[in-house]
Amino acid sequence: MTGIVLVTHNGLGEIMRHQVETIVGHPVRLTTVAIADQVDPELALVDVTAALAMGADEQGVIVISDLPGATPHNLASKAAAQHDAPLVSGLNLPMLLKVVNHAEQPPLELAKLALTGGQQGMAHR
């Protein structure tokens, strides 16, 4: 199994976890890190790095952030680089469902599936 770590703006990760658990009907194994407004980036980086170490599973860890270029993404990027873990940004519910449902895949493959799930979950009419 690959560990899953969500690094998001305050509260979003837990909301996403709750929605996934409601849809799949059981608790899911993932770690969330909430980045509060006006956070000290150095202290937050310690929290994110610790979450990656704790969230890593037999195969490693994938990191998912909500908004490319924002503070949670920037912190996740630094921590992921320290752990040689893939980072996917642009979190949406279809992406997270794809990741949770295929967590047996290795981290790099899971990152590809995350992108696919996120894109497949978007529509325009």
Consecutive sets of 10 residues in the chain, 125 residues long: mean pLDDT of each?
Answer: 96 97 96 94 96 92 96 97 96 98 97 97 90
Q: Tell me which CATH homologous superfamily contains domain 3-120.
A: Phosphotransferase system, mannose-type IIA component (3.40.50.510)
> Quick one: the chain helix, strand, coil %, rounded to 5?
50, 20, 30
* Cβ partners under 8 Å of residue 112, min gap 6: none
Answer yes or no: are the C-beta atoms of 40 and 22 closer than 8 Å.
no
**What pLDDT does residue 99 have?**
98
Three-state DSSP at 73 gives helix
Answer yes or no: are the C-beta atoms of 103 and 71 closer than 8 Å.
no
- Biggest distance spanned by C-alpha atoms of the chain: 44
Where are the chain's structural domains? Answer: 3-120
